[in-house]
Structure 1
């Protein structure tokens, strides 16, 4: 993934589709992936001149675009027609219904592609923690996110066919098991209702109604953590907040294609850069602590936090560019699922809001 250039330049010509042949791209996962990979690589990894937050991903030819839609539809349709539950022998080996469900193999392949693409970003990291790190990460994320948004539209059939069904089957970012972790101030009566609802049979209509209501309430609680206040005038919409919540979820949770990509950027790029280094050495013998006579010793910070500190505390630079970098990095943290109470998010949010 190229990282050079900050301005807007001439757009690339759309990527043409592969030459037509007798091979059916929907015949197998390997055939479909071989058909998709050139388009995904072009969208996610082609060099671009525009690295702004409003950048658009490289385009592909409309005939190729339509061909991908058709191939995905045919692949899912053929899988549904030929799907059989795992045999007892396969179950004994650990195979589950999920492993044989239509679309699971393609979804996992796509997740692996995003993982590898995000790791490529780490290969070009600058060596020092000066402002160069922020200068590098921001355009990388802008291009990566623009590509992920484009892939999300291109492979929307995965969202409609696989992700939506997974959510209905309690495999999405918010699950019934999460209802146990209710917010502070929950009454004993609510906890009793939750326990009762969870213990009831899923086939019972009343139980399902209670579960649906409890999940809806829990969803609002979770979205509030991402800036959604539940009103029509909320500064952040429910869809935006849910996208952040999806990106913040564990890797085993099924989320939309764009959130899948952003989640991998978090796990493979942002979290390693935010990690506080572990200081190795022999532990000193316990001594009676002396009274503090000066400021407390500075706590080691992650590479990205140090780079942000250098950026925000720098003097004499381009203040407009500094503000743009801070706002774009804050957007990257939000879209990738870095929580609002993270110290770096709080510092960037304060700087962007107040200008200092």
Structure 2
């Protein structure tokens, strides 16, 4: 696919305001994230170099101006407006709207649901990674500052809650910082990282933890996109259907006696996985590709390893040959 033409080569300065900068960014993001591609791995299409360089310059100039305005602002509210939060919110809304469109296009037939999710995720994730590189100044000038201000995926309160019984008023700042590092290491272990592994593996585990964070946490652009893939698409598919009508005695699920416990309603994605694993019309190569692809997608968007569906997928992945299994934990 040819690179997108430079759509904003006019004389207007996109760094003058958040709305002007967003008008400059959005068409490029549409091309990177939404354009159809023929690449089987969903590789994001490129934009031409003048536009790429122009976006870098515009973001740098915008955030530099915002930093200067923040430093000179007298009130906290003025500092908040001048901090660059608006562009971050534009991005969050953009990713949410994009994923909702993907969700609306999903098939109702559960036998083809995973066939839809895996390539859609690969394409979206590749676009998110490309957008992350394009918008490096957003990460550098806004996200990093927010993390330094304790607004990131792991906050001081998270540490204080976990060690509330052992922390004392005499604890030094260094000791609290050490506990924060220990808490971070514990969290990364939950996403598959072990001490001694590579920095790439550590970065992937942290990206998963970021995507799993609540919506009020400030995280890098790619993790922001993956978090929205979780909240707007995956989590609704994981939710079990609600029982219609009010609960009455005659409709209650009987207690388990001598027989097995009654099966509970499962979400659409769990039913789709069950159908995929039990299907006799799908060849093993396709089944392995879909299962490992879905397992990787759930991990990347922040579905925790103790979730029943992730446990089921991981168990199946463990029985696969090494090349297919290793794809599950490899960053896109």
Same fold (TM over 0.5): yes
Unaligned runs of 5+ in 2: 322-332
The separation in 2 between residues aligned to 1:246 and 1:172, in whole angstroms, is 8
Distance in structure 1 (CA, Å) of the matches to 2:45 and 2:150: 35
Residue-by-residue CA offset, 1:161-213 (whole Å, 9 max, x unaligned) = 1111111111100000001343xxxxxxx65552436xxxxxxxx73212211
- How do 1:1-356 residues align onto structure 2 when only pairs under 5 Å count? 12-52=1-41, 55-83=42-70, 84-85=72-73, 87=75, 95=77, 97=79, 99-130=80-111, 132-182=112-162, 191=164, 193-196=166-169, 207-232=172-197, 237-285=201-249, 292=257, 294-355=259-320
Quote how far apart the aligned CAs of 1:122 are. Answer: 1.1
Tell me by how many angstroms 1:224 deviates: 0.9
Structure 2 match to 1:3: none
Give secondary structure in 2 for the equivalent of 1:273: helix
Paired residues of 2:256 and 2:262 also in contact (CA < 8 A): no
Describe the SS at the equivalent of 1:217: helix
Q: Give the Cα separation in 2 of the matches to 1:116 and 1:162.
A: 22
Q: Which has the larger radius of gyration?
A: 1
Cα 1:233–1:112 shift into 2, 3 Å: closer
Q: CA deviation at 1:86?
A: 6.0
Contact 2:37 2:43 in 1 (8 A): no
When residues 66 and 245 of structure 1 are mapped into structure 2, their CA distance, relative to the original with a 3 A threshold, is same
CA contact (8 A) 2:3 2:46 kept: yes
Contact 1:85 1:100 survives alignment (8 Å)? no
What is the TM-score with the length of structure 2 in the denominator? 0.90
Match in the other structure for 2:327:
none
Question: 1:96-151 deviations in whole A, cap 9, x for unaligned?
Answer: 74x32422111111111101111111111111222x00011111101000000000
Paired residues, number: 319
Please state how far the C-alpha of 1:256 moved relative to its aligned partner.
Answer: 0.7
**1:245–1:337 CA contact under 8 A, matched in 2:** yes
What is the CA–CA distance in structure 2 between the aligned matches of 1:305 and 1:155, rounded to whole Å?
Answer: 35
Which SS does the other structure have where 2:15 is aligned? coil
Q: CA RMSD in A?
A: 2.3
Tell me by how many angstroms 1:270 deviates: 0.3
Q: Of Structure 1 and Structure 2, which has the larger fraction of its residues in helix?
A: 2
CA distance in structure 2 between the partners assigned to 1:276 and 1:232 by the alignment: 37
Taking the aligned partners of 1:36 and 1:27, their CA distance within structure 2 comes to 13
Contact 1:277–1:300 (Cα < 8 Å) also in 2: yes
Give the secondary structure class of the aligned counterpart of 2:294: helix
Query: What CA distance in whole angstroms lies between the structure 2 residues aligned with 1:161 and 1:290?
Result: 57
Cα 1:14/1:351, change in 2 over 3 Å: same
State the Cα distance separating 1:296 from its structure 2 match. 2.6
Deviates more, 1:315-324 or 1:336-345: 315-324
For structure 1, which runs of at least 5 residues remain unmatched after alignment?
1-11, 183-189, 198-205
Inter-CA distance 19–129: structure 2 relative to 1 (3 Å threshold): closer
